[in-house]
Structure formats: C-alpha cells, structure tokens
Structure 1
C-alpha cells in the first residue's frame, strides 16, 4: 500500500503576459515584479503550513517563470536557492498555435474552434496543442515519480488537471477554475485546500 503523500502545488508568480491575458502555454515568459513578490509570499505561507521545510522534496517545471518562483521561494525559506529538481512533464498545457493570443483575439480569429472548446474544455485540443485530459496524464506521471511530501512549482493548467485527476473536481469545473498566484494548493488524500 502506498503511503499518503502531500503535495504543495504552487503556480508560478505573475508575468506581463498574465496581466495582458495572453495564453502563455510553452512560451518562456519571465516573472514581473509582482510575480517575484508573490513567490516570496508563497515561501512564508509554506513555512507556516509545513513547519520543517527541510524534509520536503522540491520539484519545478523547467520553464523560467516556474524556476524563478522556486528559487525565490527557497531563498525565503533559507534553503539553497538551486538545490531542487525539475521535470519537463510539469510544463504548462500547450496551447499550440494559440500561444501569445488573447481570448478576444481568438474569438475573432478562430470563433468556431473557441465554441468547440467551450462545449468540452477538458477534452478540446487547440491546433498543435494538447488537452487538459492529455496534460493530466503527463503531470500525474510526474507527481507519481516524486518521493514523499513535495513542493511542486508549476502552472495553472497543471494544477487544474490535478484538481480533477487527484481531488475529484468535475472536469468542466477544473478546466475553468481560476488558479491563484501567491497561494498554495495543498493536495492530499483525494482532496485539496487553498492556502494563502
């Protein structure tokens, strides 16, 4: 029997593309100044939640916005800044050809495809992208490889996929729920709690 594990899921801090409402996906967009402050805040929240943070495993998406969030978070905890691993399967959902666009842009350019997505946001695959269903498989495999309780710095799409796959949130709700920056989604025993 597998021991219960706790995952502290952290969305990277804010970027200028978040502010502009652009779909980032696999584009490597850096944190802005608010994003760096959010990363430090998460470090303080994690210390309050977990107490002894030295026994946790730390894993990040390889994208720069997640790596920088993890480095700042660890610095806030007085841990070595770069002593963590990263896993490419924790990268953000690929929006394919839609990356860099805003939803208003897409409603003008690809109105029919946007309507299809609205009917089934969990299974819809953007042109040359991937669905939340596909993301849940690869991100779930990444979590399964992590030993013990862990801090995972990743992306909104990855957290949405895990809220469905690991906490039972209905797929349509999970695909649409806003994922906060500067907060922690504690995933354990088939449920989650939002801490900020």
Structure 2
C-alpha cells in the first residue's frame, strides 16, 4: 500500500521564544541559536528525501525552511494558512504580562478554552486554517512522496489535531512542540491520516511553555 509522508516542522528559536514573549503573527526573525537549530534539523530531514518543501511566509519559518532547501535544492513555496495563531492584543507581551494585564483571558488559555477578548484567533479557526494548508501541501506530492512543511508551534499542534480529527481534549495531551522539532504523519487510502511520530528532533531541550 502506497503511503504519503507529511513532516510538520516547527521553526527555530527566536529572541521572543527565549524571552517567553507572545509572537503570534508578528514577524520575528531567528536568532543565532535558531539558525543553528535549523541547520542541525535539516541535516536529519534531508535523509528523508523530501519531494516538496512548503513554509509559512513568516520569516522565522521561511528561514528555517531555507536551511533544508540549501541541502535538497528544493525551492520552497509559501502559504499564509501555515502562519502561527493570531494572538491579537497579546502579541508583543510576555506571558507574565498577559497573566497580569489580561487575567481572565489568560485563565481561559491555560485551561485550553477559547480566549474571549483580545482578538485572539479561536482554536477551531486555527485548526481548520492550518489543516487546510497541510492538506494542500500534501496534495503537491504524488502518492508515496514526502513533503516537509515549516510552520509554528501552536499552529502545528492544532493543524495536526484537526487533520487527524482529534477532539480538543485529546489534543491537550500533546506537550508543546520544541523549536526545530517535527511531527511525522502518514496517509494511505484505507486508513487516512495517522500519527507516526511526535516531537522528533536532533537534540534535547528543557521543557518549554506552550509555543505562542
């Protein structure tokens, strides 16, 4: 049976990641650590012989994808649907500042519920948007091919969950995806999408807060 492989790859570290600052769709670049993480991860991902490379158009994802493009010769395509969750008025704040300034919204976020207020994108909208982008990327390869998608932490988790048809409660059982780690999904005609591996990467990191 022919199986298609989809690799959903989180971008490398940024200064805002390091400072626990909410990025959302703010276009924050990789830092030196993030650029090295992208190179290290690309040296593993190239062994999967990807056929197609797709990225969020935000620079921290596109520069991560560029590290793999340099090894494969693939030209990435870019899809706005793969952007991080839009965090509205949270963007630019540290999580400590969100908790202090917007305690009711922060409490709902911590509980895994939709944030009411602050113009934060709903989880259903996020999951549907990113899953559409992931499916479109997978459709670019023939059956049996491999596609790598460079995206973002919260986007990856919600998009993968939506693609798999998981309820929100099940999705919360997954820990945060580390910088430059990835999810591997497989697809065939009889079983549809299946989770093959989660939080795979070239190095170990200390646990981090949920990516934003």
Equivalents in 2 of 1:125, 1:179: separation in Å? 25
TM-score scaled to structure 2, two decimals?
0.80
Residue 126 and residue 16 in structure 1: after superposition, are their counterparts in 2 closer, same or farther (change >3 A)? farther
CA contact (8 A) 1:168 1:190 kept: no
State the 1:79 CA deviation: 1.6
Task: Spell out the pairing of 1:82-161 with structure 2 (5 A cutoff).
Answer: 83-121=75-113, 123-124=114-115, 127-146=118-137, 147-148=140-141, 149-161=146-158
Equivalents in 2 of 1:63, 1:181: separation in Å? 15
Could you tell me which runs of 5 or more consecutive residues in structure 2 were left unpaired when the two chains were aligned.
187-192, 202-212
Could you tell me which runs of 5 or more consecutive residues in structure 1 were left unpaired when the two chains were aligned.
none
State the 1:168 CA deviation: 5.4
Q: Can you list the C-alpha shifts for 1:112-139, whole angstroms capped at 9, x where unaligned?
A: 2212333343x33551220221111111
Q: Which structure has the highest helix share of the two?
A: 1
**Structure 1 residue matching 2:183: 3-state secondary structure:** strand
Q: Which 10-residue stretch deviates more, 149-158 or 186-195?
A: 186-195
Q: What is the aligned partner in structure 1 of residue 210 from structure 2?
A: none
TM-score scaled to structure 1, two decimals?
0.86
Whether 2:64 is the aligned partner of 1:72: answer no
RMSD: 2.0
Equivalents in 2 of 1:139, 1:4: separation in Å? 21
Task: Spell out the pairing of 1:161-176 with structure 2 (5 A cutoff).
Answer: 161-167=158-164, 170-172=167-169, 174-175=171-172
Residue 23 and residue 190 in structure 1: after superposition, are their counterparts in 2 closer, same or farther (change >3 A)? same
Q: How many aligned positions are there?
A: 186
